[in-house]
Amino acid sequence: MEITSELINPITTRIRLNGRLDMIGSGEIELRFTALAATDSSNVIVDMGRVEFIASIGMRLLLTCAKAKKLRGGKLILVNLHTLVKEALETAGIDTLIPIETDEESALIALQK
């Protein structure tokens, strides 16, 4: 699992994930992802375009970071989800807790609201 990040604007970071969000993949990125996504009040857009699979442990990582981000006054939004990954998140009810947008542009608009 690979993770990269880029500051889009002074208060928003894009995190790109590449690989499988299963136990191994989640373990590989957990520390860095948490540090990027959950430790301050800035907003985070998580680009899931290259995430081909997600298991419950991956969902737990997203949920934990989204919760921590919200407690710090920021927002975490998921974008570019593959259909099957999105369906899995919807099945788990995660979509009612973590905002999902079609793409980065939509996410940036949502963050302005």
Partner 1 sequence: MVTINPPDFSSRLILDNNHHQLALLGKWVQDFANRCRLSEQSSFNLALVLTEAVTNVMDHAGQLEGKIEVSCRLQHGCILAEIIDEGAPFDSTVYKPALIPEKLEDATPGGLGIHLMRSYANDMQYRRENDCNILRLSLPI
List residues binding partner 1 (CB under 8 A). Answer: 20, 22-24, 53, 55-57, 59-60, 63-64, 66-67, 70-71, 84, 88, 91-93, 96-98
Q: Counting beta carbons within 10 angstroms of the beta carbon of residue 43, is it exposed (0 to 12), middle (13 to 18) or buried (19 or more)? A: buried
Nearer to partner 1, 9 or 96 (CB): 96
Spatial separation of the C-alpha atoms in residues 51 and 23, rounded to whole Å? 14
CB distance 21 to 58 below 8 Å: yes
Distance of closest approach, residue 36 Cβ to partner 1, in angstroms: 18
Nearer to partner 1, 52 or 105 (CB): 52
CB of 97 to partner 1, least distance (A): 5
Residue 79 vs residues 24, 48, 113: alpha-carbon distances, Å: 22, 6, 17
Question: CB 103 → partner 1: shortest distance, Å?
Answer: 22
